[in-house]
Structure formats: structure tokens, C-alpha cells
Amino acid sequence: MVQERRILYEHLDVPDINTFDVFRQYDGYKHFEKTIQEYQPEEICDMVMKSGLKGRGGAGFSTGLKWSFVPRDIEPRYLCCNADESEPGTFSNRYVLERNPHLLIEGILICCYAMGISTAYVYIRGEFTLGKRMLDAAIEEAYQHGYLGKNILGSGFDLDIYTHPGAGAYICGEETGLIESLEGKRGQPRVKPPFPAVEGLFHKPTVVQNVETLCNLPFLMGNGVEWYTDIGRTYADTRANPPTPDPNTGTKLYCISGDVNKPGVYELDLGLSAEELIEVAGGVKGERVKAVIPGGSSAPILTHYELECRLDFTSLTLWKSMLGSGGIIVMNETRNIVDCLLNIMKFYAHESCGQCTPCRWGTPWVRDIVQRIADGEGRQTTIQRPKFGVAEGGRWGDTGEMEEVYEDLDLLESVANNIANVDTMTWNTICVFGIAVSWPAVSYLRKFRPEFEAAIREGKLVTLSVEEATVPPEENYAYQQRIVPQLFEA
Amino acid sequence: MSNELIQIETPFQFSDENQQEFDRLIQWYPVKEAAMLPTLHLAQKQVGYISPAVMEHVAALLEVSVMKVKDVVTFYPMFFEEPVGKYVIRVCYTLPCALRDCKLVLEHIKQKFEIDVASETDLAKGTTSDGKFTLLKSECLASCDVAPVVMINDDLYKNLTPQKMDEILDSLE
């Protein structure tokens, strides 16, 4: 069985680790001290780039690459730490903030030293009152001990950290939405480019990083690039999971919830399969797995045929899904997929910021269609298509067979695909919220179509057995499209 | 002549403690407007909701138009424009909690207090007549491992059942 490798979470359960003294006993701030003594800022950026560290917030974008876009000649530059953890199924940042806030401060220190930043804002979601209290106390202590403020440890490096509370809007987790919100406005995402790295907070270059990404930095700097890149090479490549051209290094805080025996956060090397993760979390509660959401509710769903899929940033993209924030939600054989989709669509319809028309209108529309199906009022029509031409064995005017059409399912797919298209991988909205709505919606529908059809046919929610509800791999668009030969050869 | 028609709201002022807190945090930002969310949180903590008087005061403090403040208040679900109960109960209703029967907890609270779930436009229907509790459905509270969860004011309650919920609600003064 796969073993946990606790790096970020190593001291999480130590009593009073949230206080400066206990944190120091467990080598707290040692990595930062080493960094500031041994490395120049450019060397740190170089190491982060070489380490292959990817942003843990959702997009999985290379941290080193992001840093390289920041112009060094514009002052001031800012760091925004994204602690607006609101993706359904994700809860790893909360534990860091509540139990080990000094680790986050250490990560912020290293990032700011590398980027020449002297002001950092931590945007904490409004509901994290305890987390904010703990972090505020930790920041206070860090100031007292000279790890924040002017001329830190006599190095000439200054840093101030401020915590900024959000107010319950999911969209403020999007980096430009977060920046707008921090500026005291509605949290509506900006048109990109310019990207925040060039023009962000108060129109200055801004680095936006997730809590987990920043918490990786002390260990990366303290132990070196080789140590870090080794962590990602734990699992053997298989036919289902061939080597990816883009290495996934480091550990990930996998948050697993739903129908498993031991839900919680597990820190594991990136790239174990969904099957293995469920095993680590004590196995499925109930008889068997019906579906797994691999990366927070924004990620397209996986069927039980797809559980061998590796949970890392690159592999899941090949499987037409995404790792996102690493929130895994497991559903067992008793769950109705239509009902689950309805729950998620209600969430998105409530959280759309209202800026782009496809999302503002499309999201509630998708919700209403799913609601209609769940209420047993899904629309179905029988049509008779005209038959044309000799090739089809008919004469002009002949009519074909009577055909049953699930009107609402076609409508659902059409509306969702017009917010963001699954097949062409394009979207018609400013931010990726559109993707977070439509890709899951289409994936639920295409992969569990029999259950949707049954709900319309029977006029009520019908939970089919796992085999009956799932579209077989031959007809599964994601399963069929997942093999991308040129990528494998690279 | 009825003088009920003329209601002039008393102007809002921060308490001394909150004024100090405001003076401290306004220095964190190069632009005053950026202190909007923390300032509104502070005001809501003091009076329970964001009244027009609060909006006017905040607008004056941050040197922006009242409309901008209203704009922000209406965008974020955590700000209330009407009075709410002493205890605001937020029942998480997103998928991981739904898989763990948060519905039972919600229905139980509804029955116990004979109230409906408050909506953003109608908080009164979710508030008990004595003004003690307001019931809200909430989006993911990021505690899916201990689902179902409920947040009452600033405190999070985990692994709930209707019975546990009862005990917690009864213990609140």
C-alpha cells in the first residue's frame, strides 16, 4: 500500500505548533535562515524553476515560470497569498492556517525575498475566522522576533504581511477576482492579458500563490532541488499511465471526502492512482465506487472504469479531467448522479459573478434543466425524421423510423457547451469559471447518460446499478480521446 | 398627522475600539478603497448588519461614493442589509455535506424553530420571531472530512446529527 509522506503536514499535530517557540523547536524558520544566508534571489528563482513546482491552487501552472514573468524594474511588487479556499471538496489550507500558520509565513518570506517584494497580503476567506485569528497571532509573534518588519535578521530585507478577509464569494478564489476584491471592489475577474504578474494589485506586478504552494518553498529551499524532484518518481509507469513529458514533482495534500471510510487530508507523492488513494483513505464506504470527482467539484467526473488514472496535473489532463485543488469526492453505488449534478449546479448558479452573459444566463439555465430532470419533468419527444435518397433505401417523401429523443439532454449539452466547449477546449467567458460549470456538466451527462435517460423516461430519479448507469469505455469520450500518441513519444 | 412617516436613521459611528482597529488597518493599503471589506466586517460586527447609515459612514471614511459601498455589500453573501438573528446558522449544503445527510440537519432546524431558510433577498423568513436565530444555507465551508458541518456565527460544528444539533442549539444563550 502507498505510504503517506508527510512534509508540509509533518508537524501539524504537534501541540502548540502554532506558537513561535514550539515552531522553532521543530526547525521552524531554519530553512528561511539558510536561504537568506546562502542564496541570492536569482538563485532561488532558478531553483524553483528547476524543481518543477506547480501551483497547487488549481491551474497547476509552473511557479518558476510565473515568477519569471514578473518585471524586476517596477516598484513596488506585491504578493497575494490565496487562502480563499472554497472549492467544494477541498480543505487542506484550512488545517495549515489553523494549526501551523508559521509555516505559511516562512513560505511567504522565501517567496518575497526571491521576488524582492516587501508587502504581502493574505486573502483569507471570510468564513475562516479561526484560521485568520491564528495567522494574525502568528504574524504578531513573527514581528516580535524580528522575522517580519524592517531589516529582517540584519539582511536589509523588509517584509510586511497583512491579512485581508473575504466575504463569502467563491469567485474571489480566481486570481484576478481576488485582486479586484482586495482592491475593495466586486470580485469580478479581469480580462487577461495583462496577467497579474505584469499588472495586478494596484496595477503593479503581483505574484498570486496558493497557501500550499508557498508552504512547499521552505522544504524545497532547505533540502535542495534534487531531493524535491525525487519525490515525484515514486510510481511505476503503466500502459494506462505512461510517462508524461512534464514531470510532476513534490507531494500533494489530497483531500478526500464523500463515501470513504476515513475521509481527511493525506499528504502523498503526486501521481498515485485514484484507486490507490481510495485504498489509503480506508476504502469505499458501501459496496463499490460509482464515480469519483478528482479535483474539486469543477473537475470532470471519473467513472469506475477510469480509476486507474493517475492523480497528477498532467495525467488527468490527458484523461480530460483535472487535478484542480486536489479535492477528491467519492460516490458509492447508492448515489444518483443526476442528484449530485443538481447539487453542484446549484452551487455554480449561486456563485456566478454575473459579468459574462454565457455564464450569468447559462449557469442557472443548466441548473434549471437538471432540476427539471430531477423533478421527473425532463422533456422527451418522439420524432420521425424524413428519409432522403436512394442510398438510405427510400424514395422522396418516405419517412423513417420513429425515434425517441431526449430533448432536455441535448439542450443541457448544448447550453453547457456554449459556456465552454468540452471538445474544442475553448470557453466563452472571461475566467475559467465557465469551464468549471460546463465541463463537469457535460462529463456527468456523457459518462452517466443511462441514469439521466432513466430519470426522464420514468418521470422520477432512478438510481441504476453501477454497470447500468455507466457508459462503457468504448463509448466514453474521455476514455477514447485520452491516448495522445505524440505526447507519449516526447 | 402621523409622524411615523418621517424616520431619520441615527448616523453610524464606530466604537472607540473599532475606530482604533480601523485606523490601524487603513494604513496597510496604498489606496483607501482597498480597506472596504475589513471595514465592512468591522461595522457588521458592531451593529449586526450594513444599514444605509453604515454605508454612508464607510463611504465617507474610504472617500468613495455610497453607491460603491452598496455595490460591494450586495455582491458578497456575508454582508447583510437587514437585521439578522443573534446567531446566524449556516448549514453547508454542498456535495460532500449532501453525501453525508446535511439535509436531515437542515430539516431538523427548520422544524425546531418553525422557520424557512433565509434567502439573500428575504432574511426575515429565516429568522425566528424572537430574533435569536437566522437560518441560512451555505456553500462549501471547507471541512468536508468532518461533514456535515454547520457554522454558527464564528464557530464551526462538525460531524453533526439532528440530536447533536439540538444539544448545540439548546446550549446557546
Q: Is the CB of B140 less than 8 angstroms away from the CB of A86?
A: yes
The partner residue sitting opposite A166, judged by closest CB among B37, B64, B142, is B37
Average pLDDT (A147-162) is 95
DSSP state of A473: G
Is residue A484 predicted with pLDDT exceeding 60?
no
- CB contact at 8 A, A132 and A161: no
**C-alpha span between A438 and A421 (Å, rounded):** 8
Angle at B105 between CA B99 and CA B109, to 5 degrees: 155
Percent of chain A at pLDDT above 90?
80
Out of A160, A165, A353, the one facing B37 most closely (by C-beta) is: A165
* Residue of A86, A181, A258 lying closest to B37 (CB–CB): A181
pLDDT digits (tens, 9 = 90+) for A288-332: 999 999 999 999 999 999 998 889 888 888 888 999 999 999 999
Tell me the three cell numbers of residue A346.
446549484
Give the alpha-carbon dihedral of A145, A149, A150, A151, to 10 degrees: 50
Neighbours of A190 (CB within 10 A): 19
Cβ contact (<8 Å) for B142 and A183? Answer: no
Can you say whether the dihedral through the CA atoms of A121, A127, A129, A131 is positive or negative? negative
Question: Which of B26, B40, B71, B99 has the highest number of chain A CBs within 10 A, making it the mutation to test binding with A?
Answer: B99
- Measured between alpha carbons, how far is A374 from A347 in angstroms, rounded to an integer? 16
Say yes or no for a CB contact (<8 Å) between B79 and A187: no
Three-class secondary structure of residue A253 per DSSP: strand
pLDDT, residue A391, reads 62
pLDDT bin (cut points 50, 70, 90) of residue A489 is very low
Short-list A306, A315, A307, CA closest to A245: A315
What pLDDT score does A319 carry? 86
Contacts of A78 in chain B (CB under 8 A): none
Under an 8 Å CB criterion, which residues of B touch A? 25, 28, 30-31, 33-38, 40-41, 62, 64, 68, 71-72, 75-79, 90, 93-96, 98-99, 138-147, 151, 154, 156
Closest residue in A to B92 (Cα) is A88
Average pLDDT over residues A410-420: 95
Contact A213, A55 (CB under 8 A): yes
Going by DSSP bridges, is the β-strand pair A119-124/A78-83 parallel, antiparallel, or unpaired? parallel
C-alpha cell at B32: 483607501
Alpha carbon of B7: minimum distance to chain A alpha carbons (Å): 30
Q: B33 and A164 in contact by Cβ < 8 A?
A: no
Are B94 and A166 within 8 A, CB to CB? no
Contacts of residue A127 in chain B, CB cutoff 8 Å?
A: 78, 90, 138, 141-142, 151
Q: Return d(Cα A218, Cα A111) in angstroms, integer.
A: 9
Q: What is the DSSP letter of B4?
A: T
Helices A41-51 and A211-223: crossing angle in degrees, nearest 10, is 100
Interval A374-390: pLDDT, tens:
999 999 988 877 666 66
Per-residue model confidence (pLDDT) at position A47: 95
Alpha helices per DSSP H over A100-247: 101-115, 129-144, 175-182, 211-223, 225-230
Which cell numbers in the block locate residue A477?
A: 469520450
**CA A457 to CA A406: how far, in whole Å?**
9
> Which of A91, A332, A433 to mutate: most B Cβ within 10 Å?
A91
Lowest mean pLDDT among A11-20, A280-289, A295-304, A387-396: A387-396
From chain B, pick out residues whose CB is under 8 angstroms from the CB of A169.
Answer: 75-77
User: Alpha-carbon torsion A207, A149, A21, B142, what sign?
Assistant: negative
**Cβ neighbour number for residue B152 with a 10 Å cutoff:** 17
Per-residue pLDDT of A92-106, as tens digits, reads 999 999 999 999 999
Test B95 with A344 for CB contact under 8 angstroms.
yes
What is the number of helices (H) and of strands (E) in chain B? 7, 4
Nearest chain B CA: its distance from A192 CA (Å):
21
Burial of A270 (0-12, 13-18, 19+ CB in 10 A): buried
Percent of chain A, pLDDT > 70? 94
- Percentage above 90 pLDDT, chain B: 88
Q: Among A199-213, A225-239, A381-395, A415-429, whose mean pLDDT is lowest?
A: A381-395
Within 8 A of B35 by CB-CB distance, chain A residues are 184
Specify the pLDDT at position A490. Answer: 41
Check: CB of residue A482 under 8 Å from CB of residue A318: yes
Residue B159 has pLDDT above 90, yes or no: yes
Q: What is the mean pLDDT of chain A?
A: 91
Is the CB of A343 less than 8 angstroms away from the CB of B62?
no
B144, A257 in Cβ contact below 8 A? yes
Do residue A88 and residue B144 have CB atoms under 8 angstroms apart? Answer: yes
The residue type at A231: I
Interface contact B98-A129, CB threshold 8 A:
no
Mutate to test the interface with A, among B29, B140, B151 (most CBs of A within 10 A): B140
Q: Determine whether the interchain pair A183/B147 forms a contact, defined as Cβ–Cβ distance below 8 Å.
A: no
Q: What angle do CA B39, B45, B50 make, to 5 degrees?
A: 70
Q: Is A87 left (phi over 0), alpha (psi -120 to 50) or beta?
A: beta
The minimal CB distance from B145 to the residues A165, A170, A257 is found for A257
Determine the residue of chain B that is closest to A262 in CA distance: B145
* Among A238, A220, A217, A222, CA closest to A230: A220
Q: Are A180 and A168 in contact (CB under 8 A)?
A: no
Residue A168: name the closest of A120, A214, A129 by CA.
A129
pLDDT at B9 over 80: no
Q: For residue A398, name the pLDDT band (cuts at 50, 70, 90).
A: low
Give residue-wise pLDDT tens across range B105-138: 999 999 999 999 998 888 999 999 999 999 999 9
pTM: 0.93
